[in-house]
Structure 1
């Protein structure tokens, strides 16, 4: 594994709950050794019910790329298993594959497959595995429009024992004349769409969730304690205001969108910087990047009623935020938030414990990157006994692999 410029990881603080009494316990991250190779990039996590995590990533493979996965914990990992390999995968630093698991143990992975001659013509593909990734089903395309257009920034979230919800950004209405049944009446509209998929591969009809969204920011989803699915994404108005919205899926229906906070960020292009949402019980948290009034900032807001309303946000960055956030709940009152920020030392991944109604008391630098590339979009997962964090690790200046290739770094903290 390539080493960070810092040989060790600083402590961050988390909230550990038991019998209703909260106690602060330091979490010290240690480096793990998952079965990734040079050139690996864009990790994504999902926490399994047995305490392990499943991680996906991409790696060069011959003249193309492979999407790979492995299952592990802080002690051991399976071998790397290939989900798909092709010269026609759409590989992008911001729009990358993910993996999740149904409660019945079936794995579901998504990736992007080129589907035409245009630079941004690609489809979401989803495959299922009943044997922990040793074999995979024929790919399933969740959108049924049949247009050669962009379909990406997908999120998969389990919704029941044998069903998941898939959401994605869909360009079927972007610069196209469509049938009346498909048209939204909005010019150049990127849509948020969704469908459901069972662990047996049965796909429902895809539906329109929001008729006009930002074009290329990541989506994020979480499940509340009462089973409601919350999806966070960057919205877009006719006046080019691109703030963060949340929609709820309950009783088989999608709600109207709810703006988390009126930052009023007016920007004529996509910032490629999506939100993160997490939930526990009736509490949800959203973290996001904004540069309203030309002030780059990372903000965090809580909802205490399953995403119907959000408290006023707090700002957690130190003034030079690049965004690329992630979030998870440590308890029903505390979230762990990560983001990327530029400092004199380099590109820094910061983490902070944020409690409802309080400010971020101490931002902690998890690692500093001085390599030739970027850490891109760090991702977290929380299991019953610890927190995992992974990112793309560039080669260090003057001390990396001769090709300058990156790999994936994974750290773990027990709590």
Structure 2
């Protein structure tokens, strides 16, 4: 009987050590107004996490940011403001930090045309006290669409930028939203003084209004985007900077999604050393799917994708690779008029550890795209709640308990 008691005790201890994993979610007090929208997140090399967003007033649109200190967002700081900005639920500003240089981009209308706008970049060298006069990274000078920007910090206070460029969609003398050619994918590098030190065309025919995504591997930058073939196949492609040369763009997977218009649903990408994780939305089979693909060779090759959600997903994906090598991924799932912001954590081989609804928002475009970043194994998620004509940015800290 004594031995049976010991065995039973060991069994209980074993059971207590096999608790299922959980996600601890802490909603963070928001530093924003009830007219805030389009959040974005960035983690600096020193681990500081930044939240940026837009706020609408009666007179103008204001671009602000805050940093997370001891789980509290600091008082907002103003980057810039204007009354001629292009404000869009899917094409939103970004903010990055590179050493002592802060850089931020927004979209500003060039002319009376609704879709004629430029990317504008401003920088601060004094911790956000003052900001430089903005500059335009694209040199075409054409009143056309320029947007869906991704920016990354590089070395020596230089930054990488990629964007969708509509210079070829306008014929000479055209002033309205017309299309003479295709949208292109371009990229460049700019320094802390606002000088463009490189400029490339990466793809001469892309989807018109799906977000770009970019990450840094040990080999260099990798850019993900939605391509557009002559036959209107719009699948996710990547191109990489290897040995000072951009690789030929290639599909991550042949979904073969034929669609005549833009689905406004770009990919998300994350990298850690030469590990790459990429998430995207497709409806190639006639119903919605969210997929995850991983690469162990800096994006040169991807494993067959894993289907994460089917049927009820809106896409709008986000992704991070945590310091422990796990992959965190977010997306939207719908039920009636409600959208659940889902978060799942996977081993790098794609084995799912846990998935959970983090918060709810609406299915309307005004709810925008949830965004994600991390530091160590801490995940920060930000999203927009839209109701009764007002919108407010919210955020949460998420910790995986194994």
TM-score with structure 1 setting the length: 0.86
TM-aligned CA distance change 1:333 to 1:413, over 3 Å: closer
2:158 to 140, 159, 163: 163
* Range 403-412 or range 91-100, more displaced: 403-412
Structural mapping, 1:249-398, within 5 Å: 249-331=241-323, 333-344=325-336, 346-360=338-352, 362-369=354-361, 374-384=366-376, 386-395=378-387
What is the CA–CA distance in structure 2 between the aligned matches of 1:369 and 1:201, rounded to whole Å? 38
Instruction: Name the structure with the higher helix share.
Output: 2
**Given the two structures, how large is their TM-score scaled by the length of structure 2?**
0.89
Show CA shifts across 1:69-107 (max 9, x none): 1112353332211111111011000001011111x2211
Paired position in structure 2 for 1:37 = 33
**Which residue does the alignment assign to 2:48?**
52
Decide whether the 8 Å contact of 1:314 with 1:359 is kept in 2: no
Gaps of 5+ in 2: 1-18, 174-178
Shift of 1:371: 8.7
Instruction: Give the distance between the partners of 1:92 and 1:375, measured in 2 at CA.
Output: 11
Task: From the CA coordinates, give the structure whose radius of gyration is larger.
Answer: 2
Q: 2: CA distance between counterparts of 1:351 and 1:310?
A: 22
Change (3 A) 1:370 1:264: closer
1:410 pairs, out of 385, 395, 401, with 395
Cα distance in 1, alignment partners of residues 315 and 258 from structure 2: 17
Aligned residues: 377
Q: CA deviation at 1:336?
A: 0.6
Please tell me whether the aligned partners of residues 66 and 73 of structure 2 are also in contact (alpha carbons under 8 angstroms).
yes
Contact 2:89 2:367 (C-alpha < 8 Å) held by counterparts: no
Which shifted more, 287-296 or 24-33?
A: 24-33
Secondary structure at the counterpart of residue 236 of structure 1: coil
State how far apart, in whole Å, the 2-side matches of 1:27 and 1:100 are: 28
Q: What is residue 398 of structure 1 aligned with on the other side? A: none
Residues 345, 144 of structure 1: CA spacing in aligned structure 2 closer, same or farther, 3 A cutoff? closer
Contact 1:281 1:332 (8 Å CA) reproduced: no
Note if contact 1:373-1:394 (Cα within 8 Å) is conserved in structure 2. Answer: no
Q: For the Cα contact (< 8 Å) 2:317–2:331, is it kept in 1?
A: yes
Deviation, structure 1 residue 281? 1.6
Q: Contact 2:232–2:259 (CA<8 Å) still a contact in 1?
A: yes
Retained in 2: the 8 A contact 1:112–1:122?
A: yes
Report which stretch shifted further, 106-115 or 74-83. Answer: 74-83
Instruction: Tell me the distance in 2 between the aligned counterparts of 1:390 and 1:74.
Output: 17
Query: Partner of 2:4 in structure 1?
Result: none
Give the equivalent residue in structure 2 for 1:152: 147
2:126 counterpart of 1:131: yes
Displacement, 1:373?
A: 6.8
Q: 1:227 to 1:62 in 2, by over 3 A?
A: farther
1:344/1:175 CA distance change after superposition, 3 Å: same
Of 95, 98, 123, the match for 1:99:
95
Q: Secondary structure at the match of 2:135?
A: coil
| Aligned partner of residue 406 in structure 1, secondary structure | strand
Structure 1 counterpart of 2:167, from 172, 186, 190: 172
SS of the equivalent of 1:381 reads: strand
Shift of 1:370: 5.4
CA contact 1:283–1:332 (8 Å) conserved in 2: no
The answer for the alignment partner of 1:68 in structure 2 is: 64
Instruction: Specify the SS of the correspondent of 2:285.
Output: helix
Correspondent of 1:216 among 180, 191, 209: 209
Structure 1 residue 211 displacement after superposition: 0.4
Q: SS in structure 2 opposite 1:270?
A: coil
Counterpart of 1:12 in structure 2 is: none
Structure 1: 5+ residue stretches without partners? 1-22, 179-185, 396-402
